[in-house]
Amino acid sequence: MRRTRALHALTATALSAALVALGSGAAHAAPHSPVARPVPAHVAAPYVETWTGQSPAALAADSGNKYLTLAFLQAPEAGSCTADWNGDPTRPVDPSVLGADIAALRARGGGAIPSFGGYSADTTGTELADSCTDVHAIAGVYEKLATTYGISRIDLDVEADSLANTAGIDRRNKAVAEAERWAGRTGRPLQFSYTLPTTTKGLEADGLAVLQNAVANHARVDVVNIMTFDYYDGAAHDMAADTQTAAEGLYAQLHALHPHQSPRQLWGTVGVTEMPGIDDYGPAETFTTGNGAQVARWAAAQGIDTLSFWALQRDNGTCVGTGGSDSCSGIPQDPWYFSHTFARFTGARR
């Protein structure tokens, strides 16, 4: 996502609380190579700010979500070929870190989608493919993530400076293609999604170039997830209507890239991520509860793949009038309104 992320270490107290909520400890974390289950063709998967110390599985249980997108993985420093949760070397890709949460999501019939990048990583050279110049090492991190947590989709959040890093874009897509070949050889389900900024009419040229490079590198992009907020165009917005026109623009761009795919296949590649309430641009971009219901109906009717929002911790109305908060939407709403409204999309049949 576009906003700068504050990095918070997971304290011992928060860790203990999370493990108590899950009914297990680090010693009972997920097994080393759990079996991956494919993500449903239509899935609601809001982002979770993993740096807060809250248990993602406990948040999912409280909010009624089955699937979560976990933000973010990034290199601890520019030049590194390692990815840690929020760039914190004390929180590596390991079953002892978030393994119990991911296993708990799986046990409830859901799962997790780990996400690389985000605004902070993309503006500090610590997005993995921007940081690491070794394609095989980047692919190895993706593969390790899949085997460590038993996940079947990886999200790549590319925005800001990363959209101008053509070498990083090329390395990332080469690594995606390599990881996909590995998954094919080993019989593992593995999808990749790109999360990209958008205009109200579809991707700008730099976002489209990411997908064009993926085609050139034979990297399969299973979902293109557009951030339908923070348009920064100075206009007042009907956020639900603009979500639809942005997705229609993306559909046309995907059709140009993949002219032999059917409309069902192309719409099944589209994802949208909202920011409930007042986003960090300001009141001109306010995603209302009515917008949420409208987008959920449209997403199910259109047959898109992913319906998401930033972020689960914002899904409450405790700070009416506040824009861009990490912990509340800024509008009057019931707790977990957007979770409950979007959750029915998971597994929906068109």
- Residue 348 pLDDT: 72
Query: Domain boundaries in the chain?
Result: 36-343
Mean pLDDT across 245-257? 98
Q: Is the pLDDT of residue 77 over 60?
A: yes
Band of residue 32 on the pLDDT scale cut at 50, 70, 90: low
Q: Is the pLDDT of residue 100 over 80?
A: yes
- Residue 126 pLDDT: 98
Mean pLDDT across 239-264? 98
- Residue 34 pLDDT: 85
Mean pLDDT score of the chain, rounded to an integer? Answer: 92
Q: How far apart are CA 29 and CA 134, in angstroms?
A: 31
- Residue 47 pLDDT: 98
- Residue 64 pLDDT: 97
Q: What is the dihedral of CA 301, 305, 309, 311, to 10 degrees?
A: 150
- Residue 119 pLDDT: 97
The token duo for 93 is 């890709």
Pairwise pLDDT comparison (26 vs 311), residue with the higher score = 311
- Residue 349 pLDDT: 67
| CATH architecture of the domain covering 36-343 | Alpha-Beta Barrel (3.20)
- Backbone angles phi and psi of 224, in degrees to 5: -110, 110
Give pLDDT tens digits for 180-223: 999 999 999 999 999 999 999 999 999 999 999 999 999 999 99
Band of residue 350 on the pLDDT scale cut at 50, 70, 90: low
Q: How far apart are CA 103 and CA 92, in angstroms?
A: 17
Q: Is the pLDDT of residue 6 over 50?
A: no
Contact between residue 1 and residue 46 where contact means Cβ atoms under 8 Å apart:
no
Q: Is the pLDDT of residue 311 over 80?
A: yes
pTM of the predicted protein model: 0.91
* Stated length of the chain: 350
